[in-house]
Amino acid sequence: MITAGLIRLSAALLWIVGLIDGSDVTQTPLLWKLKDQSATMNCSHNKDASFYQMYWYRQLPGEGMKQIVYTTTIPPFQYESGFSEDKFPAQKNNPQTGSLTVEKLLPEDSGVYFCAVSQHSDTAYFGQGTKLTVLEKDKEITGPSVKVLQPSPKECKNEKDKQRKKTLVCVAKDFYPDHVSVSWEINGQNVTNGVATDEAAQLMPEKKFYQITSRLRVPAKDWENSDNEFKCIVNFFNKTHTVPYTDSIYGEAVTTTNVMTREKYVKITQAAKLTYSVFIAKSCIYGAFVVFLVWKLQGSKGKQNY
């Protein structure tokens, strides 16, 4: 269809209209279903009856938006290639509402489904999307384990360069399903500058759990201040609650200065403890040696006296 093609071409532009004007089009926000079930998502709008055209799109993790079907109050509906009516039956009984069902759900159907309404196919108004999560029956909902990794010491060795940056990496893994968002804080303050997060969580090699990574690039001087705390927050949605999982590390002062980092301090105190223990051990051996000598001397004296 030409109209459908036009809409698809300008989807990026239309998306902006949707964002500004999102309150006009309302969608079911979240749906959690099991594999093989079906999911029906609703869409409604508060515009007048001339907005009787309704489009459905889906965006799979890490992919662009794809149109599924174009519906109006007068069937038949127009399905895009790759999308069948059996799998994606739609309903449009009145100008204000409509629905899309996804039958025989597979985990690969997990993604965000958008509805858009239009009057003349020139401007479409998008809803905020339905995030559909399809759960495998045998997999338990599991929150992530989160770890912040230090910057590599090899990263930008050139000490004179004022533009030096350090990259911290946050790794969240072993979670299921992939309903997460990652953010960073420095000393309790939200940071967005220098943050790059994977577009979508990836299935880990054994295909049971997901993982996602996020990188935070900071000026080297920020990292080299041991008072600075770098925290990674992974918000995991577990079907009912959004639960934060976090990890944090402190900056590390460069070794040429007198500033001591926490880790260094621990290392030095541990080294001191070790030295002390060796000292005590040595004293004991020495003491034993003295006792032995005395005993020997006494023994030989005894023999002499005999």
Residues that bind ligand NAG (CB under 6 A): 28, 40, 42, 99, 141, 183, 190, 238-241, 243
3-state secondary structure of 88: coil
Strands annotated E in 153-267: 165-175, 180-186, 189-191, 195-197, 202-203, 210-219, 229-237, 242-250
Phi, psi angles (nearest 5°) of residue 127: -80, 180
Residue 290's Cβ-side half-sphere holds a number of Cα atoms within 13 Å equal to: 6
Question: At its nearest, how many Å lie between ligand NAG and the CB of residue 276?
Answer: 45
Question: At its nearest, how many Å lie between ligand NAG and the CB of residue 244?
Answer: 10
Q: Is the distance from CB of 43 to CB of 33 less than 8 angstroms?
A: no
Q: Can you give the C-alpha Rg of the chain in angstroms?
A: 32
In the complex with ligand NAG, the residue whose CB is nearer, 70 or 176, is 176
Give strand pairing partners of 118: 53, 124
Phi, psi angles (nearest 5°) of residue 53: -95, 135
60/38 Cα distance (integer angstroms):
17
In the complex with ligand NAG, the residue whose CB is nearer, 112 or 254, is 112
238/143 Cα distance (integer angstroms):
8
In the complex with ligand NAG, the residue whose CB is nearer, 38 or 283, is 38
Question: At its nearest, how many Å lie between ligand NAG and the CB of residue 50?
Answer: 22
Question: At its nearest, how many Å lie between ligand NAG and the CB of residue 21?
Answer: 22
In the complex with ligand NAG, the residue whose CB is nearer, 30 or 253, is 30
Question: At its nearest, how many Å lie between ligand NAG and the CB of residue 145?
Answer: 15
The Cα angle at residue 184 between residues 150 and 242, in degrees rounded to 5:
125
Question: At its nearest, how many Å lie between ligand NAG and the CB of residue 166?
Answer: 21
Question: At its nearest, how many Å lie between ligand NAG and the CB of residue 66?
Answer: 22
In the complex with ligand NAG, the residue whose CB is nearer, 29 or 287, is 29
The token pair that represents 70 in the structure block: 């174009």
